[in-house]
Structure 1
Amino acid sequence: MDDSQPRFLDDVTVELVRHSASDTDVLWAARVSTAGEQSLEEINKDPERSKGLINYLMRDRHGSPFEHNSMTFFVRAPIFVFREFHRHRVGWCLAGDSEITLVSEKGNIRRRTIAELYRLWHHGVEDALPSSGGGVTWKKSAGKWSAQVKYANKSHYLGLHETREAAERVVAEFRAEHPSKRLRKLASVRRNHVRCYDETTLLASRARILDVMESGVKRLIHLTTESGRSLRCSVDHAVLTPEGWRKAGELEVGDQLMAAATAVPPSEALVPPSLRRGIGVWTSMQRLRLIRETDTCHLCFRSFPREELALDHVVPVAANLLKALDPSNLMPACSPCHRKKSDAEQALAKRGGKVSIAKPDPIVSIEDGGEEMTYDLSVEGPWHNFLANGIVVHNSYNEESGRYRELQSDFYVPGRERRLVQEGRPGKYVFVEGTDEQHKLVTEAMEASYRQSYAAYQEMLEAGVAREVARAVLPVGLFSSMYATCNARSLMHFLSLRTKSEQAKVPSFPQREIEMVAEKMEAVWAGLMPLTHAAFVANGRVAP
């Protein structure tokens, strides 16, 4: 088939990209408070005891031991599935007055509240209209006061009045009804970048904002740190700590948050040129062993043939010389990402003065933060974090962008097993089998629509129209892709919402297409953490 012709698919793709997830992670985390750090041999001595402990943690809702693990999934599905991912994220909410640190290309800093960013992003920028003049004058011939206003380059006569106060009141009323400001949506608002941090080196960087979301009215907690920073957020919002990402509601006074700070930069002078050349030779020798024929860039998560990939020191040589010859510190990176990261590291090493980093800041108080409308950001990778009131917080959504690459011509058409007919009312409805005629109608209508819209998309691209403009004609049945990172606890919550099961204590009615994604994610997870998965199912499929 010609690559420009649409392909019609009836299934979704879920692949495990990388993970550090096993039942032993849960056991280690649970037992460290009572038995100290234990060896793997000790933990595996009594499998039944381990199974019983995991079941106890699940049953009594002790959630934090299930968070000391990580899974990154590559998901390819129709766009409308990702809208469900996006809409049903749990927690991840900040108070509207949280100040977000924005960084220009030249490194200039400014701050806006997240509520203001949401208003500008979705409703536009306040812009002055042409000046409004006029006012009140005495008309001697009439013996009265004349009222008139110039508005939007037009004069508006407001009549004669017996007193000056009456004329001024009419002018004031007119100006109140016709404000000299208007709302315009400016493209520059959507080019904002936030301060973010490399989670390995803790050095500051910048990332483009992809979306600003209103997350609904939520109950908040108020965290205050030793340096005087404060953050009001939902209990489920992830914040960066020296031990990694943790939910705000699990933190206690004395725990540390990572916050904006400055430090003396690393210097290239610490690494002699001869040693640097030797490190380069050794790194080149590892290519065949550490890069597969087709592999994934650890910075942009796209796949490339081996010849287009380099080995990148995740922790830069100048930042930690001890990791220079550590194979576990080497990851594949595509040429553009590797060049960009290397340039930034070299500029940092050569720059004098101090640089921006993230440093620990102890919590001194945790209080009730009230209840109000909340917001969140989605930012571009590879580091999906940003600064809110000077504290490093996380976002959780990273979908393929149609602004920077031509979108592939893969479209979703339901398979014959997909039930098409909805019966009943909301909350009580069920889906039943469609007829052959209904399936034929759906298939033919969708395929015709897809062909027409993709042809229009291609026509605009060939005419030189920007991708971000041309993509507007494409329907939500287009396949997109996303990297979703989660721990076992957050995955269990997602599964409880996005799968339908007779074993669930709380019924759920997910759309079939996102349930297909959830089922595939659950199958992978069950293989990684069988005891945890069994306990999840046995306890009514409720996340702890």
Structure 2
Amino acid sequence: MDRFRVEVITKTPNPQQVIYAAMHQDYSEGFVYDDHDSWPSESKCGELIVKRLLAGERGHYGPIEHVGIVLNCGFFPHSVMQQIRTHRVGISFDVQCLAGNTEVTFVQSSGTLRKIKIAELSDLWANGEKAIGQQSIKGRNEEPPEEYRRNCKTRLPKMRLSVLNETTGVFETGDLKQVIVIGIQPVYRITLEDGKTLDCTTNHRLFTSEGWQRMVQAVGLVTDQEGQVLELTKSCAVISQDLRMNPKSVGAIRESPLQQQICQGFAASEISEKSHYSNHLLQAHPVKVTHVEFLGCQMTYDLEVEGPWHNFVANGMVVHNSNRYTGNRIVDAAKGIRDIEDVFYLRPVGYYTDRQGKRYEYTQQQRDRDLAWCNEAAKRYQVLIKEGTSEEHARGIIPFDVRQHWVVSFNARSLMHLLDLRAKPDAQLECQKLCDLIWPHFQEWVPAIAEWYEKYRLKKGRLSP
């Protein structure tokens, strides 16, 4: 358990003031304050929340849901993620996402490019396309005239999504599998030297000249408690898609030279004829990030792309799609270049008891045998991948407690609910450890609420308000 990690990515600034404002509006007809000078301090708001809402057991705890925190969790066994996501409300995993104004690039049959905002894609995916022309009769589902919307979940996946072949550096086309609404998240705008911008969360992965990196890691983003950008500690170049006169690509993606970028394997003359681009070619090339700014919280979205290349072009930049699984670390463990316990989790040697009262000893001999089994599973996985089996299929043979890294967001109320259920002494040991690592961050974020919670609820097995 010494490898487990929990870090804060972002959190609502002045959370106790936000909760106080929401609470005050719930129970008062007046505005939350008449004069800015009379606005209670963060610590004073915390005291009032405890006194008037929590300790008073007023029964309406919605105000606590207005603030959120996003955590980066690493090296936990799969069973922990299964435990904390089951029957939970107000929790979201893997918050890699883009703002609604992000333009996604598609390739039309003529070879021309078509760009559609991701929020519009989400609306089409969820609600369908509005009918064209006048409708004088009811729709098939009793929709009134001119209100009928056609289902697009069959048509959208057939549109050719512009994706980058990460091996050859050539732009190809892929298939849209799903449009995902992530929810309201803190959003930052990155700006490139050529003027391109992209509004995304700190966790969204960008294809850079150094390979795939999360935005916060790629630029070395440093922010204050309110999310405002203080500095960028790293230089970063994001791989972009452009129409350029020079057919030779510039720079390198990872260690492979970028080749002539063309659409769907067409020759230059074909592109010229089909898309009226003259001698221009689609090229992938790195463009330097010049600055990053915080935009506040916005509704965010993501796409899931059918393989083999799980990326797409957003505002002209190559970005990762959601829910991509590669299993490279398992292959590395099979090769012996990565510690097997960096990939799989096994409990330490010792005496254990469960909530049903079962008592047993886990010996070193048993643990060594289990480690050998994990190693054999990794080797079997490696063989399946070499034979061309998909990662999604091959991972079915690996041990259940493969280590996982994930990003998870909570509102304050849902986080207390997790602590109610998984910090108590009879919970799974690894879940207790997760709660132990989350707890200091919760204390720092909402100190007055945490002080009340620790005194009356923590490890007592009660359900949160």
* Structure possessing the higher radius of gyration over alpha carbons: 1
Q: TM-score, normalized by length of structure 1?
A: 0.43
Q: TM-score, normalized by length of structure 2?
A: 0.49
